[in-house]
Amino acid sequence: MKTQVIIVFFILTAVGSVAMGGENTNPPAFPETPVAFMGDWVGTWEVGEEKHPEIAAQVIAQGSDEYQIILVSKLYVRTPPILTITAKVIDGSLGFDDGFFWGEITGDTFVGGKRDEDSSAFQMKPFTLQSPSLGAKPPWNAIVLFDGSNFTQWKRFPRGAFWNILETGILQANPKLGAIETNRKFKDCKLHLEFRTPYLPEARGQNRGNSGVFVQDYYEVQILDSYGLQGYWNECGAIYRISAPYVNMCLPPLQWQTYDIEFRAARFDRRGKLKENARMTVIHNGVVVQKDQKILHGTSGDAKSPPVSPIKTPEPLHLQAHGNCVQFRNIWIRDLTNNGVKRKHQLYSKR
């Protein structure tokens, strides 16, 4: 009986592996054509003689022809919005009118204003923020972890599982399988990584484009489609449960984003007693969202379990599979502990 069960298991595993191997093209969550209305908008707002040159908006797709529109005075700043409103597509245009504010997007033009101010009007056009470190070349002393061609720097777990390398040289998390981790282990390091989240308009919260970069295996920098949201401790740019990003730099789904992370591992004395906590600087799309942030313990998705003590040993870098096919490219790392010369923390000196 036991033998039969094992045989059935291996047959199912083999069939599953063949099926996975066929998934080497973009899934529907990465449509080729741009999603209408979604994304950043910038423009001017005139009220009589007055001008507000930096009116902007973030438009979030929510499925069923519904979008959330957030009007702000400036993009990518932690500031209260002017207006947050749900809008519906009617006759090809996205419009709203709450009796106080009105607005309408048709094609590439977003117009609107305030009802109580006759001469109030704004006009915006689409805007695309591009990270300055997109396509950054690995320096001579970097280890290239993924350049689109192969998987040789990575291990898969559980054993036998694997992610997909698409025909376009993109690494895609396989939501049916577990995380992947590097063969090499690291302590102090500097990492460059590019990612983009899938278009999942019906999904919400942690089910929307979730993955994560685990440095020294236990410290997660969250990856999530938290475009336009508050920028909390469990959203993109956060060190999970430890520290919210200074500002939410998350770009809309489908758009390539960058993480440039510098990590300094915890320090211990000869008896193994903690001397200094781990620290991390995270640059998200060119903006520092965590600066030399102290990390008191390992990050965990489970608030009920006791926190993981600071890590003493070198550990792999791992990428999380969390139910969504997040995509990656251009991943490289500099080992700052074992890089020939023992270096000091690179960007920010020890406090």
CB of 210 to Mg ion, least distance (A): 5
Nearer to Mg ion, 84 or 206 (CB): 206
- Measured from the CB atom, is 209 or 252 closer to Mg ion? 209
**Count of CA atoms in the C-beta half-sphere (13 A) of 10:** 5
Output the smallest distance, CB 78 to Mg ion, in A. 22
Segment lying near Mg ion (by CB under 5 A), choices 44-52, 154-162, 313-321, 335-343: 313-321
Q: Which of residues 5-64 bind Mg ion (CB under 5 A)?
A: none
DSSP string of 173-229, one letter each residue: --TTS--EEESS-BSSEEEEEEEE----TT--GGGSS-EEEEETTTEEEEE---TTS
Type of residue numbered 80:
P
CB nearer to Mg ion: give 103 or 253: 253
Quick one: which segment of 14-22, 143-151, 275-283, 317-325 binds Mg ion (CB under 5 A)?
317-325
Q: Which is nearer to Mg ion, 212 or 310 (CB)?
A: 212
CB of 51 to Mg ion, least distance (A): 42
Supply the minimum distance, in Å, between the C-beta of residue 9 and Mg ion.
29
What lies within 8 Å, CB to CB, of 196 at 6+ separation is 30, 253, 254, 255, 256, 257, 326, 327
Q: From the CB of 213, what's the least distance to Mg ion, in Å? A: 9
Using the contact rule CB under 5 A, the part of the chain among 72-80, 81-89, 197-205, 320-328 near Mg ion is 320-328
| Cα 141 from Cα 298, distance rounded (Å) | 28
Query: Which x/- pattern, by CB under 5 A, does the window 194-213 give for Mg ion?
Result: ----------------x-x-
Structure tokens at 154: 């990575």
* Nearer Cβ to Mg ion (258/320): 320
Q: Which is nearer to Mg ion, 103 or 237 (CB)?
A: 237
Interface with Mg ion (CB under 5 A), residue total 4
Helix, strand or coil, per DSSP, at residue 12: helix
- Residue pair 131/256 in contact (Cβ under 8 Å)? The answer is yes
Region near Mg ion per CB under 5 A, out of 60-68, 246-254, 305-313, 319-327: 319-327
CB 209 within 8 A of CB 326: yes
Q: Quick one: 153 or 320, whose CB is closer to Mg ion?
A: 320
Write the DSSP string, 239-285.
BTTTB--SS--PPPTTS-EEEEEEEE--EE-TTS-EEE-EEEEEEET
> Please, is 165 exposed, middle or buried when counting C-beta atoms within 10 Å of its C-beta (0-12, 13-18, 19+)?
middle
Does residue 105 contact residue 94 with C-beta atoms inside 8 Å? yes
CB 320 → Mg ion: shortest distance, Å?
5
Q: Nearest-CB residue to Mg ion?
A: 212
Q: Distance between terminal CA atoms of the chain? A: 63
Least CB distance from residue 64 to Mg ion, whole Å? 26
Cβ count near 208 (within 10 Å): 21
Q: Which is nearer to Mg ion, 43 or 245 (CB)?
A: 245
Q: Which residue is it, tokens 């989240």?
A: 197
Phi, psi of 275 (to 5 degrees): -100, -45
Please identify, using beta-carbon distances, which residue of 226 and 320 lies nearer to Mg ion: 320
Which residues, 166 to 195, sit near Mg ion by CB under 5 A? none
CB 192 within 8 A of CB 332: yes
Least Å distance between CB 331 and Mg ion?
Answer: 17
Nearer to Mg ion, 190 or 318 (CB): 318
In angstroms, what is the minimal distance from the CB of 222 to Mg ion?
Answer: 5
- How far is Cα 52 from Cα 55, in angstroms, rounded to an integer? 6
Q: How far is the CB of 180 from Mg ion (least distance, A)?
A: 14
Alpha-carbon distance of 39 to 126, in angstroms, equals 7
The 210-239 site mask, x for binding Mg ion (CB under 5 A), equals x-x---------------------------
d(CA 28, CA 208): 15
Q: What residues line the site for Mg ion (CB under 5 A)?
A: 210, 212, 320, 322
